[in-house]
Chain A
């Protein structure tokens, strides 16, 4: 085997080692994440919490402020996505209805963005 082939093999081995170490041995860790990086199930529960709080407080601005943490195009869109996920996953009717109420009020009083839950 020529010296260059062995050299290339050594580089390849090193790369594999580096990748293994970088991805599994000591991967980049995120400890200070933001709510917009949450998984969809957690986002949905977050939206449900906002809707539950809204049902008692009736403070739409506070709800919109809380939803803004999730990023996304608009609060309506965040709620819409949450409703779609909740329906797919079989959340209770009461939970979905709570979120729908919030979505309806958001569309009514904050109609700047679109919300298109069926």
Chain B
């Protein structure tokens, strides 16, 4: 009788052991993550962390430090993450935080070399060279800080280029000077001039917009250009480049119908007044509010 049982009892024991082991490993004594990294944070906490990085950057203007901190979040594209969050924050009604995020995004500069406009519903505004084709344009030079590089190669797990044990061991007084100078500012020199101002009747646009595009003298889009729009009841500011999917020199502003707006660039240039949402007519005779397209270029 006993021999007929065979080795099945061993398998039973093995299965029981596996169940007990897994129960202990997963339920009783699971792996505890007490020293997590910012990359593992929940999405909403990551957004708050990112906003704080931008606020700190506004205070210290230390781009190396800001970039190292953003690297901790593990975003595949820091620029896009910042720009998209800036848009969401602006829509959520916090212009100060949106501005901080936008300025940091602009300071970092765009990562992708080429970007295409979104396939549908995108503004059909013309550019000096035709369609919106966002080409990476870095005005200035990228200078790496050789003094900071050793700190990135030693202590595994330590936040690179951040104040902490690694930096302290290697350099007695680690200072984080804002050396990387991928200058995101518009080409210095002549102010922008208005090249094209035209009405846009595009039924795909859900609202009336003032669409602004800024290009440098070589026809490359320029991010970070501050645009000031004012109307009888108020004023607003926004920046080009916060919608990278539409072009790095692109920005837009939602108009209220029947309200007259004036627009100018913060760095000077001619003001453009009398911008009122034009009335357009669709093919079926249906009427809707159109937009304005303003193209600025540096001579």
Please list the residues of chain A having a beta carbon within 8 angstroms of any beta carbon in chain B. Answer: 3, 6-23, 27-28, 30-35, 37-42, 44-46, 48-50, 52-53, 55-57, 66, 69, 86, 89-92, 95
Contacts and interface: CB of A to CB of B under 8 A. Distances in A.
Nearest to A57: B55
A18 B143 CA distance: 52
A45 B17 contact: no
Given A57-B55, A92-B163, A14 B33 contact: no
Nearest to B44: A32
Nearest to A19: B21
Given A11-B13, A35-B45, A40-B35, A50 B159 contact: no
B187 interface: no
Given A16-B21, A30-B40, A50-B52, A37 B165 contact: no
Interface in B28-49: 30-31, 33-38, 40-43, 45, 48-49
Contact of B9 (A3, A18, A32): A3
B69 interface: yes
25 contacts: A3-B2, A3-B9, A10-B11, A11-B13, A12-B17, A14-B21, A16-B17, A16-B21, A21-B22, A22-B22, A30-B33, A33-B33, A34-B41, A37-B34, A38-B36, A38-B41, A44-B164, A46-B52, A52-B59, A53-B55, A53-B59, A56-B59, A69-B48, A90-B172, A95-B163
A10 B56 contact: no
B72 interface: yes
Given A22-B22, A45-B159, A90-B165, 5 more contacts: A7-B9, A17-B18, A18-B21, A38-B37, A39-B36
A11 B16 contact: yes
Q: Most chain-B CB neighbours within 10 Å: which of A33, A40, A66?
A: A33
Given A19-B24, A35-B45, A89 B38 contact: no
B6 to A, nearest CB: 11
Given A48-B163, A56-B59, A57-B55, A69 B45 contact: yes
Given A21-B25, A31-B40, A45-B69, A14 B45 contact: no
B272 interface: no
A104 B293 CA distance: 52
B52 A89 contact: no
Interface string B43-72: 101001100110110111000000001001
Contacts of A23: 25, 31
A52 B60 contact: yes
A13 B11 CA distance: 10
Interface string B145-158: 00000000000001
A17 B164 contact: no
B252 to A, nearest CB: 29
B10 interface: yes
B20 interface: yes
Contact of A10 (B17, B58, B159): B17
B58 A56 contact: yes
Contacts of B12: 7, 10
A23 B35 CA distance: 17
A115 B47 CA distance: 28
A22 to B, nearest CB: 3
Contact of A33 (B16, B21, B23, B36): B36
B230 interface: no
Contacts of A6: 9-10, 13
